[in-house]
Structures are given as structure tokens and as C-alpha cells.
Structure 1
Amino acid sequence: MTGRFVFIVSLFFSVYVFAMFQGGKVSWTIFYMLTPFLLYSIALFVYPMNNIKAERIIHTRAIERGGKLSVTVKISRTVPFPLLYAGASEKWEDPEMAIKANNRTKHLFIFGFKKEVEWSYEIEKLPRGEHIVKGIEVEVSDFFGWIQKRAFLELKDTILVYPTTTPMKYVPINAQYDRGSLVSPFSLVKDTTMATGVRDYQSGDRVTWIHWKSFARTQNLMTKEFEDRQSEDLVVVLDNRASETFEEQVELAASIVEEAASHQANIGFISVGAETAVFPFIHSADQLHDVFVHLAKVKQVPAEEVLPLEVSSFTGGAGSVVLVTGNPDWPFIQSVMGFVKNRKSVICFIVVNREEPISDRLYEQIKFAEAKGITVHMLGKMQFSEAFKEVASL
């Protein structure tokens, strides 16, 4: 940049000296024609780029896979210097995002004397994941490109694209009466029409269960106790090993968790990958949101990087387990067995691509798991809504 500035100053004096010594109308005409351009380049060289600010407005915050992101970017400044050729571009952590936007994240404009400009763009068919936009790069130039100045305006935003969910009818897999063989510490369905007593408030209790009269009297939060009609702990286990149907596996797991939570089931969630993520209780909207944030960020990993699931990773003691996988090999399924006393309480959903033939290896894995007493059910994406209906008929 300094070299170009020296060139412009030298050119200015050279033209002036040429006009002085050469004289004549032509030489002075050349000098007067070049002077405005040269002076503008010199002024642009000293123009402070740090007076330029940026603001990003994200119109769509909650986006599911395949959805559309709508953004408006505003560039403002305090010094009204006449900027001519200016350009701004969003800088994403993943360069593929600019390609998906068909380069609409870049914008060329003539600033002029305006103090603010803005433009909008959309990115369609967003993939699930955590997408980070780091900032905005602004570039200005003179008439001939002799002086080009850039400024990176750090403006970080994180866009989470959640997995799509499929509405399904939830059916308890292995509900038992409280005195049955699989008594769980939380009830699947509570009769909330009649309170049988009160107890101290515990983290995760629903606000609607708080006994406000006791609170007004003692200033201590107390929770109503209800009669338990059925009880079952359900744990959804997502296999994050590399698979051709991994995105569909994430969507099925998200659909099950969302549907079971909406029916006030005592549901836990485990995501098995290079590191095991455990969500033992999903009783509130915030806890459900935490699970979906994880499902938005989760990535598949090579099988050799996945550690076997240990029973100690979940201390709840599940009544039933739903395993969502695309690779039902026995060593991995066996690591899930420690959660339950009865193998029939394990349902293995295998997500497959119905448009492709099922491999002989997959059939062998299914037969082996069924021989060990595991209930196995293959699902294509179009069958997600009937997942629990199929389980109920098994």
C-alpha cells in the first residue's frame, strides 16, 4: 500500500514538472485531467477505515434442516467521504456457505456521501449443523485501483440449524404398574387431577406442580405429589458412528425425544460418539432445547474413534431403551444392554435407505441381534411417523 502511495505522489509531481517544463495547452490539459484522480487517491489513502461499522440482522433464528436463512447487513460510517467503488462480503467459517448463497453474501455498491447502506440475502436448503459467520470484510478502491483498502469488521454470529422432526404418535414401549418388575424412579403418566401430598422442590420439577399455598405460608418451594398410574424410564441412544443415513438417524432421534417429551414421559437421551453426551432428565422446555442444540451440532465420527458405551455414563437405570443406529453390530448393541434388566425392553431402530437394496451384512447383524432377544425394526425416512405404531404391534 505504501509503495502505491509513493507511486501516486511521484506521478503527480512528474505530471506537474512535465507541464511546467513542456508548457503548452496539451501538457497542462493532461495535468488538470489527472489531478482530481490523483488527489482522490491520496485522500483515500489517509481515509480512516476504522470509522466504518457493521450490523447484521438475522430474520430467521429457528431453522430446521433444509430451511432458509434470511439476513440483512447494514454498513454505516461517521465520516462522509465520497467512497466510490466499495464492496462488502460476509466471511463464514465454512466457505461452502457462500457457495450455497450463490455469492449473494457479497455486495458491490457506490457509497457516495451516504452514511449507511444495506443489503439482504438468503441462503436456502441449509444443512443441519452449527454455522458460524465471523464478520464482514469491507473493501474500497479509487478510480483505477491504485489504492485499495480493506477492513475486517468482526461481527460473530452462530446459526444453529436443527434437525427436522416428524410428528408421530407416541406409545409407551414397556409401561408397567408401579409394583411391576421394572419400577422406575419417575412416573410416565401422573394423575394430575388429585394431589396426594407435597414434598420439597427438586430441580426439573414442572412449574405447574408447585404448591403455591405452601410457598406463601413458609417461603419454601414445595412440589405437589400425584398418584402414579404407570411408570417407565425411556432412554433414547443415538449412534454417532459414520453412516450413510446419519442425518436421518439424527432426525429420528429428535422426533422421538420431542414426541415423548410432549407426552410428559420420563425420557433421557444419550449421544454416543468420540465423547458421550448424556441428558438424564428432559422434564422442561429448557432441557429439551439443550438436547436439540446438541443434535444441531452433533457430527458423525469414524467407528474406531467411538468408545464403547459404559453403564456408568447413565445412572438413571432405564426401563426401556430406544437405540437409533445405521450399523447394528452386536458389540455396540451389547454396550447398551447394561441399562435394562430385560433385553426385550431394548428397541433397535435401524435407519435405512429404502431406495437401495439391503446388504447381506446388515441382514446378518439383524438376525444376530434378534437371536439375542433384541427387538429390531428397520425404518426408512417415510416410515418415521409410524415408528411407535410398528413397535406397539411387535
Structure 2
Amino acid sequence: MKNWMKLFLVWAAAFGLYAFARIEGSIVASTLWWSFLVLTVYWTLFMIYPVTAANVWRRVTTKRLVSGQTMDVELQIERKYPFLVGIVTLEEQPPERLTDETEPIITSVDRFFRRKETVHYEIAHIKRGIHVFDRTKLHVRDVFGLFDRTRTLRLETVVEVSPAELPFDLPRDEHVGGRGEQYRRTRTYTEVANTTSGVREYAAGDRIGRIDWKASARRDNLMTKTFDQEQEKKLSLVFVPSASAGHEEAFERSLSLLVGAIRQLERKNLPFELYVIEEQVRLFHLPDQSADVGHYLLTATPEAEGRLVERVKRNLPQQSGNLILISPFETKWVRELMHETQGSYHLYTANEVTT
């Protein structure tokens, strides 16, 4: 029953009690009439008074949002006008893709709060993406629970949930050569011309294969060959976002592997470029395009599997370079890509790594 219909019945009951008190003329009937009149006035004021006039603020208190964790949300309500009310609740509907829960979240506010009140609620197992809270509902009920009023407040909050970072073990070269860990299979990151231009003193980190032993013997000091041209080749980090319907979990795990790979390469200060094999292959130069990569990680969606090899051939500048390839699954197109790759490759899927 609607509130105004309830109020009409309340006033009808009040007039009925008034008539009864006039006819009966007893103290009990008069007391009953005056008591109900007070309640009728309260309920009437509750219906016409701006009890839902309030300011509400929303704040996400979790500092860094990562998929799979619990998000803490803080709501602050400030009443504009004082009035005696009963139950006060704030209702929020989580964004559609933020969590598996579809039920609205209802948070109770202290009924006796005077001016301001702060409440918290949590959303568990949040999912990656850009999510928008766009409204909250304020419910106010009278002291006796007979009447309730609702107001929808437009309140927008944008929440960015990054993919989780999984541990990523970069592949190691078996021949370290005094340069520490080298992340490749059989080929080096540096491609050297055949013409030697001279020698220089050995420096820590130089490859043993470049030492000129004859010149070292003549000068009684280790000397390293220098060349006319040295061209450093960057490592190519290739992400294949292909996954069929029903395999969203594997896709999310491959994204987490990608985050782990990026973090590891950045910690090692290794130069690399990121290729995302979509319908149009996207190239990211890091660290200059870190913001673009971050936005892609937030909004990435699985792509339909296609002619992967042809896309890579058209867009990767070096077929004989060093590839770290990350994909949800090892599909036939991925295997064909590995067969076409002339340099070293390392394939990471949602379940295992292949070198």
C-alpha cells in the first residue's frame, strides 16, 4: 500500500476515534483519541517534512585495487534538517562486472545520529576493469515502521581494478658470459657486425667471446674487440588475448602473467617492446607508454582466434629476435607462430611455460 493511502486511512481512523470519544464521553475514549491524534500529526509531518534531504559521499578506502581482493567502501551521510526517524539505510547496487554478487548492498545507519554518520561495507573478490558506481538509495522509515520514504541520489564514483600480478620466472641463458642473467634461449640481444675496428680495455660485463687474446698478451691486460657497428635488439614481449567463451579465468590468468613479465623486465632494466596481437596489432614502447599499457590491462577483452602468424609477420619488425609469448592456451596458431620464429622464443600459457 502506498504511503498516501496509509495516511488517508490514519486520518480516517483519527476522525472515527474522535466521533467515538464524543459519543462515549468517557476519559478512556478521550485519552485514546488524543494519543492517536499525536501519532497522526507525527506521521503527517513525516510525510511532508524533507526527511530524505541529505548529502551523501562515497569513498573507496582501499589504496590499490587488484582483482581478487576485497574492496572497502565508505559512505558518509549528512542530514540537512533534524527530525525523529526510525530506520535509516543506504542501498547500493554494485557495478555489473565488479563482482559475481548481484544483490544490492544495504547498510544500516544509526537511527539516532544527529548530523553526520559514516558507515562501511565490503565487496569481496572484485574483478578487473573500470567500474562505475552511479547512484545510492536513501531509505528512511518512521519510528513505528509504518511509513517509509526513499530518495535516489546521483553519486558517481569510478573504480579501477588492475589485474593481479602472478610470479613470473624469466627464462635464463645457459651461457651467462660474465653479464649476469640473460633472458634468452640461444641468441643474444646484441647483433654484431663482422668487421673489427679496434680494441679497448676490458670492462666488467663484456662478453668473454669478444676478448682479443693476442692484444691482451701484447699489452699484458685484458682487451676487448670493438666493431664498426653494434645494433642492440630489444626483446619482444608478445601477448595473445585469444580465448573462447567459457575460458575467462584462463584469460585473466594470462593477463596476470603479462603483468608479472612487465614488472620483472622493468626491475632488470631490460629494453623491450610489448605487442598485443588483436585484429590490429598494437605496439607499446615502454616505459614511455606505461599509461597506455595500464589502460589496456584494465580494459582488455578476449579476442576471437584468427590467423595469428600472418598478423605477427606483418607487424613484428624482427622475426629472428627474442620472443616471450604469453597466451591463455597453446593453440595451433600459437604453435605455428613458434615454428615460424627463427630466433629464441619462450611460450607462457595460463598453465605452463614452453621453451
TM-score with structure 2 setting the length: 0.70
Which residue is equivalent to 2:143? 143
Q: 1:246 aligns with which of 240, 243, 251?
A: 251
Matching of residue 267 in structure 1 with residue 278 in structure 2: no
Residues of 2 paired with 1:32 and 1:95: CA distance?
55
Residues of 1 paired with 2:273 and 2:97: CA distance?
38
Residues of 2 paired with 1:95 and 1:17: CA distance?
59
Q: Deviations over 1:1-58 (max 9, x none)?
A: 3323322333333332332333212222222222232222111111225621111122
8 Å contact from structure 2 (residues 168, 257) kept in 1: no
Which residue is equivalent to 1:255? 260
Against the structure 1 CA distance between its residues 167 and 343, is the aligned structure 2 distance closer, same or farther, given a 3 Å change threshold? Answer: closer
Residues of 2 paired with 1:228 and 1:126: CA distance?
48
Which residue is equivalent to 2:12? 10
**Which aligned pairs between 1:49-68 and structure 2 lie closer than 5 A?**
51-68=53-70
Which residue is equivalent to 1:214? none
Partner SS, residue 257 of structure 2? helix
Q: Deviations over 1:128-186 (max 9, x none)?
A: 344433322110112343321111222222322222222645743354425469xxxxx
Which residue is equivalent to 2:287? 283
Percent of matched pairs sharing the same residue = 17
Partner SS, residue 111 of structure 1? coil
Which residue is equivalent to 1:160? 160
Residues of 2 paired with 1:142 and 1:350: CA distance?
58
Segments of 5+ residues of structure 1 without an aligned counterpart are 182-226, 353-377, 380-389
Residues of 1 paired with 2:348 and 2:97: CA distance?
35
Cα deviation for residue 85 of structure 1 reads 1.6
With 232-241 and 161-170 compared, the bigger mean Cα shift is at 161-170
Residues of 2 paired with 1:13 and 1:33: CA distance?
13
Which residue is equivalent to 1:350? 349
8 Å contact from structure 1 (residues 260, 267) kept in 2: no
Is the strand fraction higher in 1 or 2? 1
Partner SS, residue 292 of structure 1? helix
Q: 1:172 aligns with which of 179, 183, 206?
A: 183
Residues of 1 paired with 2:271 and 2:120: CA distance?
43
Residues of 2 paired with 1:47 and 1:116: CA distance?
19
8 Å contact from structure 1 (residues 279, 291) kept in 2: no
Cα deviation for residue 74 of structure 1 reads 0.4
Aligned length: 299
Q: Which amino acid counterpart does residue 267 of structure 1 have in structure 2?
A: E
**Which aligned pairs between 1:334-349 and structure 2 lie closer than 5 A?**
334=336, 342-349=341-348
Against the structure 1 CA distance between its residues 157 and 233, is the aligned structure 2 distance closer, same or farther, given a 3 Å change threshold? Answer: same
Against the structure 1 CA distance between its residues 270 and 52, is the aligned structure 2 distance closer, same or farther, given a 3 Å change threshold? Answer: same
Against the structure 1 CA distance between its residues 39 and 235, is the aligned structure 2 distance closer, same or farther, given a 3 Å change threshold? Answer: same
Which residue is equivalent to 1:204? none
Against the structure 1 CA distance between its residues 110 and 63, is the aligned structure 2 distance closer, same or farther, given a 3 Å change threshold? Answer: closer
8 Å contact from structure 1 (residues 167, 255) kept in 2: yes
Residues of 1 paired with 2:314 and 2:62: CA distance?
36
Cα deviation for residue 75 of structure 1 reads 0.7
Is the helix fraction higher in 1 or 2? 1
Against the structure 1 CA distance between its residues 313 and 117, is the aligned structure 2 distance closer, same or farther, given a 3 Å change threshold? Answer: farther
Residues of 2 paired with 1:78 and 1:323: CA distance?
58
Cα deviation for residue 247 of structure 1 reads 2.7
